[in-house]
Amino acid sequence: MRCLALNASFEPLTMVPVRRAVRLVIDGKAEIVEAEGTSVRSERLAVPRPAVIRLVKFVHVPRRFRRQVTNIFLFARDGYRCQFCGRSQHDLRHRECLTRDHLIPLSRGGHNGWSNVLTACSTCNTRKGNLLPEEAGMHPLRAPVEPHFVHLAWAVRRLTRIQSRYIKTFYGADVLRTLEGL
Ligand SMILES: [Zn+2]
């Protein structure tokens, strides 16, 4: 189980391992908002197992960090489907896998942002190589854009009931429903 970390403003930030959450509490950097389950022993202390913590000091999280493009979010955004041949993860053959492709290759000045990365099967990725889409004659099914709720959609899947209540409180029931439906 992981712990939902809220900013001092109560904005849900991320999920952290329980051990890390306990450390933050012991160090006085966070307070426990909700505990759930048996307590955790740390050093000589028994601490309630945190399900939701809130940072004591407000942390400014740079946008680029909050919306970091990891493959988990990237593949989710693209529906676990190669954006060139359209095959989904289940359609891939043995030894093929989903990868991250850069529309404009890094070696040609492309960046790692949402608008330049997309999900591609390893075969399409290899075929495209260091070519631009026009050069390779390979164009994505959908133009890549920054997603809205992918970060949270991923988090929601692992939230306990207590934790999802905080998401709902902060973002509203409609957003929670949307996220759960993704
Ligand atoms: Zn493909």
CA of 95 to the centre of ligand 1 (A): 13
Query: Same domain, yes or no, for 110 and 125?
Result: yes
Reported confidence tier of residue 121, pLDDT bands at 50, 70, 90:
very high
CA of 75 to the centre of ligand 1 (A): 13
- What CATH number did the domain enclosing 132 receive? 1.10.30.50
CA–CA separation, 177 vs 6, rounded Å?
A: 20
Determine contact, residues 9/58, Cβ cutoff 8 Å: yes
Decide which of 133 and 70 is more confident.
Answer: 133
CA–CA separation, 2 vs 38, rounded Å?
A: 14
Decide which of 43 and 102 is more confident.
Answer: 102
Query: Same domain, yes or no, for 54 and 41?
Result: yes
Residue-wise pLDDT for 6-24, tens only, equals 989 888 888 889 999 999 9
Residue 143 lies in a domain: no
Query: Same domain, yes or no, for 112 and 163?
Result: no
Query: Same domain, yes or no, for 8 and 47?
Result: yes
Lowest mean pLDDT among 25-29, 75-79, 174-178: 174-178
Instruction: State percent of the chain over pLDDT 90.
Output: 52
Residue 49 lies in a domain: yes
Residue 84 has pLDDT above 80, yes or no: yes
CA of 111 to the centre of ligand 1 (A): 21
Query: Same domain, yes or no, for 18 and 44?
Result: yes
Query: Same domain, yes or no, for 54 and 78?
Result: no
Residue 144 lies in a domain: no
Query: Same domain, yes or no, for 59 and 38?
Result: yes
The amino acid at 51: A
pLDDT reported for residue 147: 73
CA of 128 to the centre of ligand 1 (A): 10
What is the number of domains present in the chain? Answer: 2
CA of 127 to the centre of ligand 1 (A): 9
Owning domain of residue 122: 68-136
Residue 181 has pLDDT above 70, yes or no: no
Query: Same domain, yes or no, for 52 and 80?
Result: no
> Tokens standing for 96?
């093929």
Residue 123 lies in a domain: yes
CA of 182 to the centre of ligand 1 (A): 23
Residue 33 lies in a domain: yes
Residue 124 has pLDDT above 80, yes or no: yes
Query: Same domain, yes or no, for 131 and 111?
Result: yes
**Per-chain mean pLDDT for the chain:** 87
Query: Same domain, yes or no, for 43 and 9?
Result: yes
CA of 89 to the centre of ligand 1 (A): 10
Residue-wise pLDDT for 41-62, tens only, equals 877 888 899 999 999 998 876 6
CA of 69 to the centre of ligand 1 (A): 20
Determine contact, residues 25/41, Cβ cutoff 8 Å: no
List Cα–Cα distances, 143 to 77, 82, 117, 136, in angstroms: 12, 13, 10, 16
Residue 182 has pLDDT above 70, yes or no: no
**Secondary element (H or E) of residue 33:** strand 30-35
